[in-house]
A and B are shown apart, each in its own frame.
Chain A
Amino acid sequence: MSTWQRGTRADTDLPNGPAAAAILAAGIGCGALGVLAFAGDASDTIGKALNFYNPSGTLSGVTTLAIIIWLAAWLALYLAWRWRDVAMGAVNLASFALLAVGFLLTFPPFMDLLQGK
């Protein structure tokens, strides 16, 4: 990783850190959505705890927490990487893996398979 000095870089030569932060945070948000959806489905206790707004039920807690996790991860990664170049290959790999987790853990037949239903 290389570190960029504030004020010395040209706009056409931005470090990739801010983009990497946004990409990995999106993966984290998608993965969190899947994990929370699965947890809410698998456990009555967690499902009830995620019922933030009764008319929408567990969905309200799942999505609210996923958004909070996504934005918090984005902010933390942005602050850590804003002046740096990071290895995009590793960031992409982790992000796509988390995106796949998001898709799989929101797919009811896969949720049922994991729960042995």
Chain B
Amino acid sequence: MEISTRDLWTVVHGMGFGALFMLAFSGALAELYRLSASGAPAQSSGREQKLLNFYLLAMVILAWLTVFTGAYIVYPWYRAVPPAGASDLADYPRRLLLSSGKTSEWHNVGMEWKEHVAWLAPIAMTMVAYVTMKYARAIAKPQYMRTAVLGFALAAFIATGVAGAFGAFLNKYAPVRGGSVIILMEGEQ
């Protein structure tokens, strides 16, 4: 069992940070809704609030790690330019996708949207975490910030979903390959 360093970074970016961030949304959206719902207790316990703060802070860190590893570690491998006359484009995912009309829109629409829209998520979640940590239950007060907090959290979820879904498809049609090999386990044969 072996894996290349580029495969490993792609997994760390997509499954390690991105998927974990995505998974955390169900809990965050439910808790933010509960915190700001009209029937919620006026005061949440200090322990509950600390747990939510920690949860949101972890999401913010995961969101930023996802976009930075994507843009500065994985993306340069994706958009690498092959040498002139190269016929095997397996190590050049962008050029591989663009080489055929059957796959080019995975880059032109999928990657072009994914690489930008993903950055909306950490900006939005940083705001959501800051406001929730600072105001706690007060976000539900009239003329306060419940609508913005829930709306931006939902927008971050959608942006992450778009980026994650296209990331999975792109990795299927033109995976990032290469780099040194890491042997994880030796088989018997």
Complex CA gap A30/B147 in Å reads 17
**Distance from A28 Cβ to chain B, minimum over Cβ atoms (Å):** 9
A53-B72, A56-B75, A107-B117 known; A23-B123 Cβ under 8 A: no
> In the bound complex, do residue A33 and residue B112 qualify as a contact, i.e. CB atoms below 8 Å apart?
no
- Interface secondary structure of B, over-half rule: helix
A22 within 8 A of B: yes
User: Nearest residue in A to B110 (C-beta to C-beta)?
Assistant: A108
B14-22, B52-60, B138-146, B180-188: which one contacts chain A? B138-146
A106-B113, A108-B113 known; A26-B123 Cβ under 8 A: yes
Q: C-beta contact mask, A40-69 vs B, less than 8 Å → 1, else 0?
A: 010000000000010111011011001100
Interface size on B, residues (CB 8 A): 35
**Distance from B13 Cβ to chain A, minimum over Cβ atoms (Å):** 13
> In the bound complex, do residue A106 and residue B131 qualify as a contact, i.e. CB atoms below 8 Å apart?
no
A88 within 8 A of B: yes
A33-B120, A106-B113 known; A23-B79 Cβ under 8 A: no
B8 within 8 A of A: no
> In the bound complex, do residue B115 and residue A59 qualify as a contact, i.e. CB atoms below 8 Å apart?
yes
Complex CA gap A99/B159 in Å reads 11
Complex CA gap A37/B123 in Å reads 16
A56-B72, A56-B76, A59-B115 known; A102-B120 Cβ under 8 A: yes
Complex CA gap A41/B112 in Å reads 10
> In the bound complex, do residue A55 and residue B76 qualify as a contact, i.e. CB atoms below 8 Å apart?
yes
A29-B123, A33-B119, A106-B116 known; A56-B71 Cβ under 8 A: yes
B95-103, B148-156, B168-176: which one contacts chain A? B148-156
Seen from chain A, the residues whose Cβ lies within 8 Å of a Cβ on chain B are: 12, 14, 16, 18-20, 22-23, 25-26, 29-30, 33-34, 37, 41, 53, 55-57, 59-60, 62-63, 66-67, 70, 87-89, 91-92, 95-96, 99, 102-103, 106-109
Seen from chain B, the residues whose Cβ lies within 8 Å of a Cβ on chain A are: 67, 71-72, 75-76, 79, 108-109, 112-113, 115-117, 119-120, 123-124, 126-127, 130-131, 134-135, 138-139, 143-145, 147-149, 151-152, 155, 159
22 contacts between A and B (CB under 8 A): A14-B135, A14-B138, A19-B134, A20-B145, A23-B127, A23-B152, A29-B123, A30-B155, A37-B116, A55-B79, A56-B71, A56-B75, A56-B76, A63-B119, A67-B123, A88-B144, A91-B148, A103-B117, A103-B155, A103-B159, A106-B113, A106-B117
